Every structure is written in structure tokens, then in C-alpha cells.
Structure 1
Amino acid sequence: MTVTTEFRLRSSALPLVSIPASLPPDEIECSHALCLEPDARVFHVEIDAEYDVSEAQLAALDEVVTVTPLGERADTTIFKLTVELDDSIAPAFDPERFDGAKMKSTTITSDGWYETKEFKDYETFHDFHTTFEDHSISLELISITSNQSSFNDSTGDGLTDRQREALELAVSRGYYESPRKVTAAELAEELGISQPSLSSLLRRGERQILTSSLDVQGYLNTASK
């Protein structure tokens, strides 16, 4: 099983948030190997060519060590930047903490980073989340999905992705066993949501599964009015 997450990291100390904060583009796209390779501080940054951001402007940023223009592609200008991480957040990007994580490109705004990252399991994502929070980097979870076949879209159960993931995690952690092996608060923490939100997801998911399994939608609709 792998887990794919979409999330936003928020901290003024994150690398390269200074570009949209001080230069014309509202956001930039980049690829990098932080969390994946030791001492990796190299970013390949794509900036919309219409903003005409120069090598000198990027080199003037305090965190940027070197700048190498790589040319243009699809109306974007590409630069290779070597950056120096802020000491306050550098330990959060230790690659030894995140074995098995894979990452797509990152969208950087002045407010933080938006990323889609694949983890080998929920535990790895939970460790990732906890590590960043411990270093004052807020992680806002947008979505989380897994490839476990028992909960794929072909089941026709009518669950939303969020309901499915909450139920899947609850089952795998022993929430429905007697006695319970995990609390709702612990499940909510793993998903990066509040306990009331977790309880609502489980309740609506359970209702949807019962509805689809027992074919009692008409009765439930009438009873809920």
C-alpha cells in the first residue's frame, strides 16, 4: 500500500518563499530533493517568462548561494538555484526521517509550499507531519488517498475519497475492534484534521456503506426528513 497526500506547508523560513514575496510572480514551480537526499539544496525553478525575473534578482536573495540559468520551456524561464536552509528548519528535512517518500513538483507562494507527496504507508506520513510541526512548520492536509484495492473507486459504494480514507485508517488501526485499539483523537491526528471532522467523516461514511449495502436509500431519505 502507498499513500498519496496533498498538503500545504506554511513557514516564512521555507526555502524560496522569498521569490514570490519580493519579486513579481505570485507563485513558482520547482523540483528539489529535500527529504530525499543528504545535503540536497539544489532547486530547479520555473518562473513565468512574462515576469522577466533576472539571474541578478535571484542571486540577490539572502538564501540563494548560486544561480544558473537553464533556458526556457513552454513560456517559462528555468533556473537552477543552490540555497542555504534556515537553521531553524534544516533538521526537518533530514532524509533519514522519510524513507520511502516520493515527491512531485512543488508550487511555492509567499504563503508557503503546496506539494503532492507519496509515502509508503500512513506511519511514514504521520512521522513526516509530526516532524514538520515540531519545527514550527504548519502542515495543512488537503487530501490523502491510498491504493488499497478494497477501497478503490470501482466498489460503487458512493464514498468520497475523504470518507474512504478515514474508514480505511480506522479499520487498519483497530478503531472498530472491541476494545478499541485507537481513539478518535489519535486517528484525527494521523489524518491532520480535528476530532469532530474525523467523527463526521466516519459517521457519514458508515451511513453511506449501510445505505449502499442494504439498499435502503429510500427509507433513509424519508426517515431523515
Structure 2
Amino acid sequence: MAVIVELSLPPENFPLGTMLTADSDLHIEFERIVPVGADVVPIFWAWDGDLDAFEQRVRKDINVQQFVAIDEVGDRRLYLLNWDIPADAFLEGLTTTEGIIRNAHGYGTDNWEFKLLFPSHEHLTRFHNISRENDIEYTLGKMQSLSEAGTAQLENVLTDKQREALVLAFQRGYFETPRQVTLSELATELDITQQSLSDRIRHGIEAIVEHTLFGASEP
């Protein structure tokens, strides 16, 4: 069963992150990264500090093949980085064990905070052994199965009223073909108008679809 773990990594064990956070007042947050051999093309947000100076510095790095600002929201910029990674035991360990970086955040010289996904506990154990063999120290935090994490995230996607409406509609057979109950009957049971119930069901389904297909995590 797939497992998600959180860990804290010293910056010296993550060369890519160290290069990006050389400006001490800059925050970096990666979107999902799937290491494949030496090819890692991360997308990340940067904010605080002088972003123009940050771009100039990164483009001068000999390992950077492509560096593009692809969006800007408020004081944050979204970048795509094509990085020719030198020997990096941390990323090599992830590659060997089929690990995925779901999220990573770094600030200045502070430790990097990661949320990693492994196909199984056995893969996580292999990653730990590889890290130990390469003297990579990290602090392991919360660990949970993928199904547990998905349930926890879904709880943040739906409002209580949307969840109540969807559960009742499902239990009464509203989504069956043919339907076993009408919208009017469900609304009467919840003591709300038919339009209010329709809105709760529609917005709830939209939130679930968006969360499932696009990774949104807020209601």
C-alpha cells in the first residue's frame, strides 16, 4: 500500500534546494516532482526577496539549462526549471525507490520540509537504507497510508452541509438509475428548500471533481 511521509532535510543534503535558497530571505515551494534518473524538471513558487535578482543568479548557474517564469500571483512567481543535476544522493535514493516529492518547502538556510510518496512501506525502507548508506540524515515526521491522506484532504474540500447532503442523497438512492428518491423529498427531510439542496449537491460534486482531477485542497 502506498505511503506518504513527511521529513525534514538539512539543506546541505539537497543541492538543488540549496542553490535556489542561496538568497537568505527567499521562500521556495515546489509543486509535485517525479525524479527520473538525472532528469528533474521542477515547477515551484518563489516569494519574498528580490525575485529579479534571484532570476539573474539562477540563470548564471552552470547546471541550469532552462529557467522560465510562467505565472505571477500577487507577490509570488511560478517558475519552471530544467536542471542538469550533479550527483545527488537524496534524489538518487528517491529515483531508486520510485519515490515522488508531493511537496517541498525551503527558506534560506533552514531545513527543507518534504512530503514524499512511496509505492509501499518496503520502498520507504529501501529509501531509508540508501540514505543511511550515503550519510544523509533527516528527521522523519508524520507517516500515513495514501487512502488515509486522501480521506483527510477530502474532509477539507467539502463543507459540513455539502457532505450531509451528498451522504443523504447517496443513501436514499438519488444517484441510482432510476432514482429512488426525488430532490424535493430529500429537501423536505433536511428541512431546506429544493434549490438550496440542489446547490449543495452541485457544489459538493464540483469540489470533489476538482480535488480529484486537479489536486485542489481548499473548499
Q: What TM-score do you get using the length of structure 1 for normalisation? A: 0.54
Q: For structure 1, which runs of at least 5 residues remain unmatched after alignment?
A: 154-225
How far 1:93 sits from its partner (Å)?
4.1
Maintained 8 Å contact 1:34/1:40: no
Q: Which residue of 1 aligns with 2:104?
A: 106
Question: What is the alpha-carbon distance in structure 2 between the residues aligned to residue 49 and residue 88 of structure 1?
Answer: 27
Q: Distance in 1 between matches of 2:22 and 2:63?
A: 13
- Show structure 2 runs of 5+ residues with no match: 153-219
Q: What per-residue deviation string (whole Å, max 9, x for no partner) do you get for residues 16-67 of structure 1?
A: 2223233531x310135353x2332212121116643442122133543331
Give the C-alpha shift of residue 127 in structure 1.
Answer: 0.8
Q: How is 1:1-225 mapped onto 2 (pairs within 5 angstroms)?
A: 1-14=1-14, 15-25=16-26, 27-31=27-31, 33-35=33-35, 37-48=36-47, 51-54=50-53, 55-87=55-87, 89=89, 92-93=92-93, 95=95, 97-99=96-98, 101-109=99-107, 110-146=109-145
Q: What is aligned with 2:166? A: none
User: Is this contact kept in 2: 1:33–1:40, CA < 8 A?
Assistant: no
The alignment partner of 1:12 has SS state of helix
Fraction of identical pairs, as percent: 15
CA, structure 1 residues 91+76, in 2 after alignment: closer, same or farther (shift >3 Å)?
closer
Confirm or deny: 8 A CA contact 1:68 1:81 kept in the other structure: yes
Cα RMSD for the two superposed structures: 3.1
Distance across 1 between alignment mates of 2:129 and 2:73: 37
Instruction: Count the aligned residue pairs.
Output: 147
Q: Quickly say closer, same or farther: Cα 1:13–1:83, change in 2 above 3 A.
A: farther
TM-score of the pair, normalised by structure 2: 0.55
Task: Give the aligned residue type for 2:45.
Answer: E
SS in 1 for 2:42: strand
In the alignment, which residue of structure 2 is the partner of 1:173? none
SS for the counterpart of 2:37 is coil
Cα distance in structure 2, aligned partners of 1:57 and 1:23: 13
Distance in 1, Cα, partners of 2:146 & 2:60 = 44
Q: Which amino acid aligns with 1:107?
A: H
Contact 1:98 1:124 in 2 (8 A): yes
Q: Which residue of 2 aligns with 1:181?
A: none
